[in-house]
Every structure is written in C-alpha cells, then in structure tokens.
A = this chain, B = another copy of it.
Amino acid sequence: MTAVQARIGDLCQALGGVLHGAPDHVVTRIGPLDTADASTISFLAHPRYLAQLASTQAGCVIVAPAQAEAAAARGAAIVCEDPYLAFAHLTQWWAERMRARPQPGVHATAVVEAGAFIHPTAHVGALAYVGAGARLDEGVIVGAQAHVGAGARVGAFTRLAPRALLGEGCVIGQRGIVHGGVVIGADGFGFAPVKAEGGRWEKIEQLGSVVIGNDVEIGANTCIDRGALDDTVLEDGVKLDNLVQIGHNVRVGAHSAFAGCVGVAGSARIGRHCTAGGGAIILGHLEIVDHVHISAATVVTRSILKPGQYTGLFPFDDNAAWEKNAATLRNLHAMRDRLRALEKKS
C-alpha cells in the first residue's frame, strides 16, 4: 500500500464541495473529529458530534451548509450537501491512490479452461481457476486462488477477491465485489423423504443457477445457493455482509442490505430497500414487501406485507434476573388464565 498525501484543494474538487481555507494544506489521514490532528481530514455527518466541531484539531472538516460558518471559524472546511456521502467518496478517492490496481493479464499459475473469454483488460491472479466457457468482461479482477466455474459470467469492473468462488453457470453483473470465501452456486438444500425406507432423504438435484445484478457486494464466507428449478436472484445494489446464507430460489430486491450472519431460507421473496440486522433469520416460502426493516436476531416466521420495523428478540439481563423471568415465561399462558379468573371474580 502507498501512503497518501492529499491537498485539500484537490479533495474539494473531487468531492464537488466549496472550500474554506488554504487549498495547499496537505492531509495524510482520514479520521474522526475527536482524534484528528492537523494532518487529518474529518467530517461531521451526525448532529450528535456537533459539539466536537469547535474543539477538533482536524486539518480540514467536511460539513453540511448549516455548519459552514462554525466550521470555517475554526479552520479549513469543505462544505457539501451530504457530508457522509462525501466521506464515502473521499474513502474511494483515497483507496484508489493507496492500493495498487492489479495489472491486466492472466497469471502464469492460473488455470483457464478451453472456451473461456477473458477481456484483455481483465486480471486473473495467481492460482485462480476459470472454467470452460466462462466470460470475464472489461476490467474484471479475479483475485489469487479465486474460482470462476464453467460457463459463469462476470460483468465489467466486478472484482472477485482472493478465494471468492462463483459456481458453474452463475452470473454476476457490473461493478460488483465478492469477498474471500464466498460460495455462489452451491446446491440448494432439497430432498424428498423416502418413507418406504425408514425416512432416508433422496436428493433433488438443483438445476437452477444464481443471477446477481449490478453493484452488488457480497461479504466474506457468505453462501448463495443455486435454485432448484429456476434461479436464485439478487437484484441491483444488494449488499450482503459476511457469513450470510441465502437459500435456493430466494429473490432479494434491489438495494436491500443484510448484516452479518443473516439467514434466508428457500423461496423467500424479499422486497426492495429492505434491511436485516445481524443474525436475523427469515424463514422460507414467505414474502416481505419493500421498505421492511428486520431488527437484529429477529426470526421472521410469516410474510410481512406492510413496510416498517419488525423485531422479536428476548431482552438480555443479568443471568439471575433472566432465569426468573424465563422460568415464569414457561407458565405465561397459565398466568393469563389465572388473570382471567380473577377478572371474572372481581
């Protein structure tokens, strides 16, 4: 990685803001307001941190128009409509300069099977595998030890991190990011019970595929199973964190985002702009409409047809208090009956 030295004038131009202060001031770090020094560029994205603005030692702060005056009073500032979005753009500007872009071409130790198409601008890393008939479009990066199965397709500028796996016949669109350890296109979990033989399970071969839209990011060790007959689908802009499980035939609507350890069972249909907190479980064969937000560790057991926030988790407590409440909970229905009996009496 390369250390970045940035003139705040250049940053302001890149972010499309208005600069207060000397454009030649140089920053070498992005950081929060409270630990910033003169070499740090910081940002104020939430009113909660407003008090830190006056005291920060940051060399430059990115602020919204409402804070422009207060920010300029204390030193250099870049004024932007949406400081948090500007911060996101700033990290992208920074990353481009900090990290070397891999050279186009196929590493000598990569294995490319017959009939694969690799665009001349694409990069295939060391010990990577590209199966027969696979297609890598313009600017694609396939990291070291990554895997693109036979007939799979990777859209322009998508990056498979080292050791990501896109299975046979699966498709991902443009500008995607697939992190290490991801497995796209393993078999869905489908079996028919064989009653005649004491209940063994007969495999239902999974004949569908996985189809992923543009601008999708998939976190480390997440799994997306292929469909049983049709395809499992992630629409444009979906963001999945690490260790997420997406069962066969699931459809996730555009711009929905799931935090780590979320599990979605087979054939669930999830709308656009939904979110799920860490460890949430969504059962199968149900529907969730657009703009539904599932809290962490909540188990969705039936369809949700109305936008909103939904929650279902046992509040934690010190163990002794929990034990008493949990024990009582096991008799809750009986308590209700006792309460009713009292009500009738009174």
Contact = CB atoms under 8 A, between A and B. Distances in A.
A173 interface: no
Copies of this chain per assembly: 3
Interface string A283-315: 100000000001111111100000011111111
Contacts of A312: 313-317, 322
Given A1-B169, A144-B129, A219 B189 contact: yes
Contact of A333 (B245, B247, B324, B338): B324
B330 A315 contact: yes
A99, A107, A145, A343, most chain B CB atoms within 10 A:
A145
A111 B321 CA distance: 56
Contact of A338 (B1, B98, B219, B339): B339
Contact of A255 (B1, B198, B330): B198
Interface of A: 1, 29-32, 82, 84-85, 87-89, 91-92, 94-95, 98-99, 107, 109, 111, 113, 126-127, 129, 131, 144-145, 147, 149-151, 161-163, 165, 167-169, 177, 179-181, 183, 186-187, 189, 191-195, 198-207, 215, 217, 219-221, 223, 225, 228-230, 237, 239, 241-243, 245, 247, 255, 257, 259-261, 263, 265, 273, 277-279, 281, 283, 294-301, 308-319, 321-333, 335-336, 338-339, 342-343, 345-346
